Structure 1
Amino acid sequence: MNHRHIHFIALGSAVGTGLFYGSAGAIQAAGPSVLLVYLIGGAVMYFILRALGEMSVRHPVRGSFAVYCREYLGGFGGFITGWAFAFEMMIVCLADLTAITIYMKFWFPGTPAWVWITTTLLIIGAANLANVRMFGELEFGLTLIKVGAVVAMIVGGAAILAFNLGPNPEQMGVANLWADGGFFPNGVSGMAASFILVLFAFGGTEIIGVAGAEAEDPDRSIPKAVNTVPARILIFYVLSILIILLINPWRSITGEDSPFVQIFDTLGVTWAAGLLNVVVLSASLSAINADLFSTGRVLAGLSKEGLAPKVMGRTYRDVPVMTVVMLLLALVVGVYLNTKFPDIFETIAALATFATIFVWLMILFAHMASRRQMTREEQQTLKFPVPLWPIGQWFSIFFILFAFGTMVWLPEYHVALAVGVGFLVLMSILYFVTGRPQAVANTEVEYAAK
């Protein structure tokens, strides 16, 4: 993949249904202070990606952060990180597949869900099995749709504010940021609750490190992609949420309609619901496409490290074909179970938030361990060093631990916490039962022999 592909993968990874629909939940939890939460979450995400970027430029390998965790934290670190990421991505894929069937009912209410599921899996499967460039082109096109929608909303919202459009112009303005309960209307607990939602909205951006291993010129592509993160956070999240809050008092953003539909409705765009349906459909397709790509590469990397079955490491034209096929079959089974037992994934899906921030924490730990193994001269010759070392890393670790603490504090996250801890315990047992420590040792011997 060239720089254009890597840049748009980085651009699209943090723009999805979490922004188009999930932002309403974060606004209700924190009120106007959600802007501050997005800024903090964006800073955390930036330092994580810079850590991943530093390691990727220094040592570009397939499997990316799972391989780095194995190399710097040991076999168990790589195993638990890679499988936590894979499980998280499969859950998100299942959720997006279910969402696609709901979106398509908007136009074809009588068509069975399996038709859209099959169509989606055929499209995504073909893109992932063909070659890396086809995946990049599909992700490029889907990202254009998502980004175009956000830009249109920002421009349209700015026009509403500039020309006092809409039925209630007296309710618009900067005063919305403090008029109803102040900037922190729900206090610390509200901000803490929204922090979990905001961090999860940024989930998936770590795919930059996975995609970077497929780049034609990782030394150039990865730094440029990672360095776009601050601007992306400010434009696509902070600016768009700010405009939404300036137009609508925060209590009116209930989540019954997407805040983006409200903007277009105000502009008199009667087909706003249909437009947003196209956008969220592309967002879900993009998410499944990227999740399947990154999971396949991570599991293939784990296989070569002795941390997954060997069959997952087999490739054809540099594509981990067997892993992608197995993941597609797992999605088919998951969708079938979801149709038979509609509530079966509700509890498990809560793990996605836990797994996301757990993977980020492991990336930070691996990066700090990598720095400890470098000499002063090696640190000084790094091509893409992390800024503000080590302050930025400790800042990010603190807020991720704060997020875990929030899950302990707030009852609504107890299920996610319990399921997450249970998953880690189960995978820890499997690590030793399946003989992975010896497999890792044998792999290291093979590497040394080469």
Structure 2
Amino acid sequence: MEKKNNTLKRGLSARHIRFMALGSAVGTGLFYGSASAIQMAGPSVLLAYLIGGIFAFIIMRALGEMSVNNPQAGAFSRYAQDYLGPLAGYITGWTYCFEILIVAIADVTAFGFYMSFWFPNVELWVWAISVVLIIGAINMVNVQVFGEFEFWLSFIKIATIIIMIVAGIGIIVWGFGNQGQPTGIHNLWANGGFFANGVIGMILSLQMVMFAYGGIEIIGITAGEAEDPKKTIPKAINSVPFRILIFYVGTLFVIMSIFPWNEVGTHGSPFVLTFENLGIKTAAGILNFVVITASLSAINSDVFGVGRMLFGMAEQGHAPKMFTKISKRGVPWVTVLFMMVGLLFAAYLNYIIPENVFLIIASLATFATVWVWIMILLSQIGFRRQLTPEQIKGLDFPLRGGVTTSIVALVFLFGIIGLIGYFPTTRVSLYVGVGWIVLLVAAYYIRKAIADRATTITAD
């Protein structure tokens, strides 16, 4: 089953990579999660998404600079090792894997709940097993099939958002579904003003807004299987953040123009209400289909992302060597199987452990997202310091402003960590995150001591 040439196959086009990143970052966070940010900031949440989008773009350009120069599987873990040291690579890789596993568990669980909307008599565990087996089979075929499947799942989600924006503009300008009375955009300042909760409300919402952009870093993981990394990676990175920004800002602009911002989320999903205003009575069923595709897309990307990260870490010596095994189709099949077993076991635990325990574990995903972004920026700074001025000028896809831009973004991200600690509901993620890092540091040095001892015994 294993190939003699133990390398991943390059089969992901710019179209695949672009929609993978869009699919990862635009999902349930927009459909259901944006309401909390709106309640915190009011209409000024639009400005928060603009600011967040700028910094998400900086993070992606920093990752792109390294990915185009040296395309690798498990990209940002590899770059952390190469430019910051083995310990940084070890911690970053395992933190990302654990984060994505937790996110995937939530998506598998959510898939079961979405399906129960249509099939209330079917046990949730049936859907959990079914979706893991289906996604596992797709990831086993080859990377092109995976990319095509991910493209269409993301396409459905993105198309729905575009239709919703267009329909919303119809309601705002021409009064479609509102007895021909245009709603206009006065709701953006009619209920306490644009900064309804003050500038501080907008700033406080940034921690929620930034997590909406979580997932776009998967672009870096695709570098090892992109057809032409020097062309596909820059195309994807340059287009994705701005498209995500348009979807988030455009959607929320429409929603808060039609509905007073302080009523968003209080009478059901604004997506459902917008479609129902157009006379589409089956709006709930349509949206349920869309969020099912969103969860499938997320699980598909999660299995891919963890699999390739573990493959890269195994090559670096930070994970078991068996994770480097490649099938005839160029797929790291052991990592896919590992992720499937992990998902099935973790989904089972999700059903039986107390909810507050799972929330503590899930809070690590909050910390891990920011940790990965910080390590990407620090790695880019370390990368630049190894280059001569001539080599920096010769970079194919440089981050404009170089180290200075990365430092500004780092200050912003540390500010986000401060906001996480500010709220009692999210503060637990800092405690859990710090504990996780300490655990990984201990594991790294214990593993290193065992390896050094084995080497000494062998030499003797």
TM-score by length of 1: 0.94
Shift in Å at residue 171 of structure 1? 9.4
Structure 2 residue 175 is matched with structure 1 residue 164:
yes
Query: Unpaired runs of 5+ in structure 2?
Result: 1-11, 456-460
Indicate how the Cα distance of structure 1 residues 324 and 254 shifts in structure 2: closer, same or farther if over 3 A, else same: same
- Cα shift readout 1:32-77 (whole Å, capped 9, x = no counterpart): 1111110111111101111111111100111111000000010011
Indicate how the Cα distance of structure 1 residues 411 and 170 shifts in structure 2: closer, same or farther if over 3 A, else same: farther
Q: Report if aligned partners of 2:112, 2:127 keep a CA contact under 8 Å in 1.
A: yes
Q: Find 1:409's aligned residue among 422, 431, 447.
A: 422
> 2:338 matched to which residue of 1?
326
* Aligned-partner Cα distance in 2 for 1:121–1:144: 21
* Aligned-partner Cα distance in 2 for 1:62–1:187: 44
* Aligned-partner Cα distance in 1 for 2:442–2:46: 41
Structure 2 residue 150 is matched with structure 1 residue 139:
yes
> 1:335 matched to which residue of 2?
347
Shift in Å at residue 175 of structure 1? 2.4
- Cα shift readout 1:140-170 (whole Å, capped 9, x = no counterpart): 1101100110011011001001112445988
Instruction: Report which stretch shifted further, 148-157 or 331-340.
Output: 331-340
- Cα shift readout 1:68-106 (whole Å, capped 9, x = no counterpart): 000001001101111111011000000001101110011
> 2:53 matched to which residue of 1?
42
Instruction: Report which stretch shifted further, 77-86 or 225-234.
Output: 225-234
* Aligned-partner Cα distance in 1 for 2:241–2:449: 39
> 1:208 matched to which residue of 2?
219
Q: Find 2:81's aligned residue among 57, 61, 70.
A: 70
What secondary structure does 1:387 align onto?
A: coil
* Aligned-partner Cα distance in 1 for 2:266–2:332: 40
- Cα shift readout 1:285-328 (whole Å, capped 9, x = no counterpart): 10010011011111111111011122222222332211111111
Q: How does 1:349-360 map to 2 (within 5 A)?
A: 349-360=362-373
Shift in Å at residue 438 of structure 1? 5.6
* Aligned-partner Cα distance in 1 for 2:432–2:371: 13
Shift in Å at residue 4 of structure 1? 2.1
Instruction: Report which stretch shifted further, 130-139 or 334-343.
Output: 334-343
Q: How does 1:298-377 map to 2 (within 5 A)?
A: 298-317=309-328, 318-343=330-355, 344-377=357-390
> 2:441 matched to which residue of 1?
428
> 2:400 matched to which residue of 1?
387
Q: Report if aligned partners of 1:93, 1:287 keep a CA contact under 8 Å in 2.
A: yes
Structure 2 residue 410 is matched with structure 1 residue 397:
yes
Amino acid aligned to 2:410: I
Indicate how the Cα distance of structure 1 residues 67 and 256 shifts in structure 2: closer, same or farther if over 3 A, else same: farther
> 2:4 matched to which residue of 1?
none
* Aligned-partner Cα distance in 2 for 1:292–1:342: 25
Percent of matched pairs sharing the same residue: 49
* Aligned-partner Cα distance in 1 for 2:325–2:373: 27
Instruction: Please identify runs of 4+ aligned residues in structure 1 that moved more than 4 A.
Output: 166-171, 436-439
Amino acid aligned to 1:252: E
Q: Over aligned residues, Cα RMSD in angstroms?
A: 1.8
* Aligned-partner Cα distance in 2 for 1:432–1:168: 69
Q: How does 1:4-403 map to 2 (within 5 A)?
A: 4-167=15-178, 172-254=183-265, 257-317=268-328, 318-343=330-355, 344-403=357-416
Shift in Å at residue 411 of structure 1? 1.6
Amino acid aligned to 1:299: L
What secondary structure does 1:268 align onto?
A: coil
* Aligned-partner Cα distance in 1 for 2:20–2:423: 34
Indicate how the Cα distance of structure 1 residues 345 and 171 shifts in structure 2: closer, same or farther if over 3 A, else same: farther
What secondary structure does 2:161 align onto?
A: helix
Amino acid aligned to 1:126: A
- Cα shift readout 1:303-358 (whole Å, capped 9, x = no counterpart): 11011122222222332211111111111111111121241312211221111011
Q: Report if aligned partners of 2:22, 2:244 keep a CA contact under 8 Å in 1.
A: no
* Aligned-partner Cα distance in 1 for 2:342–2:431: 24
Indicate how the Cα distance of structure 1 residues 143 and 432 shifts in structure 2: closer, same or farther if over 3 A, else same: same
Q: Report if aligned partners of 2:17, 2:222 keep a CA contact under 8 Å in 1.
A: yes
- Cα shift readout 1:159-212 (whole Å, capped 9, x = no counterpart): 001112445988933322222222222235533442122111111100011112
Indicate how the Cα distance of structure 1 residues 191 and 206 shifts in structure 2: closer, same or farther if over 3 A, else same: same
- Cα shift readout 1:353-402 (whole Å, capped 9, x = no counterpart): 11101100000000011001100111011111112333432221111101
Q: Report if aligned partners of 1:51, 1:367 keep a CA contact under 8 Å in 2.
A: yes
TM-score by length of 2: 0.92
Amino acid aligned to 1:183: F
Amino acid aligned to 2:341: L
- Cα shift readout 1:101-137 (whole Å, capped 9, x = no counterpart): 1100110000111221121011110111111111101
Q: Report if aligned partners of 1:76, 1:437 keep a CA contact under 8 Å in 2.
A: no
Indicate how the Cα distance of structure 1 residues 222 and 32 shifts in structure 2: closer, same or farther if over 3 A, else same: same
* Aligned-partner Cα distance in 2 for 1:269–1:327: 39
Amino acid aligned to 1:205: I
